[in-house]
Copies of this chain bind each other. A is one copy, B any other.
Amino acid sequence: MSVLDRGLQYGDGLFETVAILDGEPRLWERHMARLRAGVERLALPPPPEAELHEEACRLSAGSGRAVLKILYTRGVGGRGFRPPEPARAMRILMRFEAPEYPAAWWSQGVDVRFCDLRLGAQPALAGLKHLNRLEQVLARAEWTDPAIAEGLLLDNNGAVIEGTQSNLFAVIGDRLLTPVLDEAGVAGVMRAWILEWAALFGLNWEEARLTRSDVLEARELFLTNSLIGVWPVRSLAGRRLPERGIARELIACLRAARLCLIPD
């Protein structure tokens, strides 16, 4: 790839992280829908979806469990922030080995911390899986203890937004809640799937502003992304969570449907 690619020069692009299971990319249509939404907001050229699908299938074939990462950038430009017109988008597809998380992280739940870094508010980029990820890099560098699976990030107003690589759900009272992502955060493909699942099964769900004490007092918390599916939270900042019923139900559904990399 060219060093002049605006993906490198400015992080001017998007990415998708797709679970490969049984030789096939999973939740493909949802990943493409999110990519399209991001492309529209950043005014990138429309992605060649047929070619992308063909390339993704070719890269996935033969892999039992793996990860497909797709980068989609505004391509090569001159010096200067102004987007070239017309831009020639660049796509890069990479296959990685499946991450090896302990099976207990699904069966027993994970231990989670709060990060010190606060996410900045930027409505123009909120929800997008774009390539400006220094906040996540700094947040993930806050801890090295391998027993801590994830760190939660708050924004400057004290709202809990997400994990460094996952979305957050909380069961509070009889409602399933997940943070609003209109000022910060990535609107995960698995998050969207779970909200539709909740609607389908008649769960009372809502996007909400959740504070640190809201989530500390939740009956149940779980983390989600396209690879892991769902991790129940066993403890947050040292405090044990009493329940993990909805997470267990989701894990059973996702495992049966083979939508992500939950161990058998």
**Chain A residues at the B interface, C-beta cutoff of 8 Å:** 1, 3-12, 15, 17, 42-43, 67, 69, 71, 74, 78-83, 92, 94, 96, 99, 117-122, 124-125, 130-141, 156, 164-165, 184
- Contacts A94-B3, A117-B124, A121-B156; A82 near B135 (Cβ below 8 A): no
Q: What's the minimum C-beta distance from A71 to chain B, rounded to whole angstroms?
A: 7
How many subunits of this chain does the assembly comprise?
A: 2
Q: Is the CB of B79 within 8 A of A67?
A: yes
Q: Is the CB of B79 within 8 A of A3?
A: no
A121 contacts across to B, CB distance below 8 A: 120-121, 156
Among B7, B117, B124, B136, the residue within 8 A (CB) of A138 is: B124
A42→B138 CA distance, assembly (Å) = 7
A15 nearest CB neighbor, chain B only: B9
A120 contacts across to B, CB distance below 8 A: 120-122, 125, 184
A67 contacts across to B, CB distance below 8 A: 79
Residue pairs across A and B with Cβ atoms less than 8 A apart, 20 shown, are: A1-B8, A4-B94, A6-B137, A9-B15, A10-B11, A10-B131, A10-B132, A11-B11, A11-B131, A12-B133, A17-B79, A42-B134, A42-B137, A67-B79, A81-B136, A81-B140, A120-B122, A120-B125, A125-B138, A132-B133
